[in-house]
Amino acid sequence: MEDAADLVRGAHPGVDVVTVLAAEEAPSALMGEARRGDVIVVGSRGMGAVRAILHGSVGVRATSEAPCPVVFVPAHEDRPTPEQGPPEPRGRIVVGVDGSDSSRRALRFGLQEALLADASVRVVNSWEVPLPADTTALEADAREVHEEVFDRQSEEIVAGVLAEVIDDRTEGLDISAVRMQADPVEALLEAGRDADLIVVGSRGRGGVRGLLLGSVSQGVLHHAPVPVAVLPPHSENGD
């Protein structure tokens, strides 16, 4: 604990550092300390989703129960060690949106982080066109119509979320949109490969339920090579 505190004090002398040693499991200790308006930051050991469930991963519980945003920093050999300091910023934050309340929370957080970091924002929306098992039975013209409908819906979703979330403070940010026909997790991972942070919302489907429903936030969390911020259902920033 003292080594960790000394590391922070050395890197950021102006930061007030307090250590807490809790005689309880890590998820409960973190949930007990966190308040609205805070940010929880944890390291990710790269455990797969099922293994994380069995080992009581902090991430699985935090993405559904935390009262504030949770940032997961992955452990990768090509990332600097704590003694070397953080990697050079790339100046880009990627946010996944799908028109839901959870994605609006994610976009608000991503925009605020971009203001603090003087970064650009890349908004990502993807879709998958439902096709019959025998795709040869669907004529090319009909398939093209399906794709055009989903593409138009994607455009409307992105425009609507941006119009609702952007305010006077964030309207001057460099914001771009990426829309693609792809699995949402794959789309976010591809768009976020050169980002400083990927931001996603969580609908609170933690644990086994989240696995069965194919949670996008958990999929990104377990495979992203860059830090991932997850906005749980009750994580709107406080005053």
> Tokens 């919302």 label which residue?
201
- List, for residues 52-93, the tens digit of each pLDDT value: 443 446 666 777 788 999 998 887 645 556 566 667 889 999
Nearest CA to 120 among 69, 194, 185, 187? Answer: 194
Most confident of 53-62, 65-74, 208-217, 228-237: 65-74
Most confident of 77-81, 114-118, 199-203: 114-118
Give me the helices (H) in 169-214, please.
Answer: 184-191, 207-212
Least confident among 33-47, 162-176, 199-213: 199-213
Res 43: pLDDT: 83
For residues 4-13, average pLDDT: 92
Q: Which residues of 201-214 are buried (b: 16+ CB within 10 A; e: fewer)?
A: bbbbbbbeebbeee
Q: Which two tokens stand for residue 193?
A: 């490969």
Q: Does domain 78-230 have CATH number 3.40.50.11890?
A: no
- List, for residues 127-175, the tens digit of each pLDDT value: 876 655 555 555 665 556 667 888 899 999 999 999 999 999 999 999 9
Mean pLDDT over each residue of the chain, to the nearest integer: 82
Res 211: pLDDT: 36
For residue 220, pLDDT beyond 80: yes
Beta bridge partners of 178: 124
* Higher pLDDT, residue 114 or 58: 114
For residues 16-44, average pLDDT: 89
Beta bridge partners of 200: 230
Q: What CA–CA distance (Å, rounded) separates 131 from 115?
A: 41
Q: What CA–CA distance (Å, rounded) separates 222 from 45?
A: 9
For residue 217, pLDDT beyond 90: no
> Tokens 């950021």 label which residue?
12
Q: What are phi and psi of 112, to 5 degrees?
A: -65, -40
Cβ atoms of residues 17 and 47 within 8 Å: no
* Higher pLDDT, residue 119 or 83: 119
Q: What CA–CA distance (Å, rounded) separates 173 from 239?
A: 22
For residue 238, pLDDT beyond 70: no
The vertex-101 CA angle with 201 and 40, nearest 5°, equals 35
Res 154: pLDDT: 93
Q: What CA–CA distance (Å, rounded) separates 146 from 130?
A: 9
Q: What CA–CA distance (Å, rounded) separates 106 from 38?
A: 15
Nearest CA to 108 among 118, 123, 125, 87? Answer: 123
Provide the pairing of β-strand 175-181 with 120-127: parallel
Res 213: pLDDT: 35
Least confident among 20-24, 29-33, 59-63, 211-215: 211-215
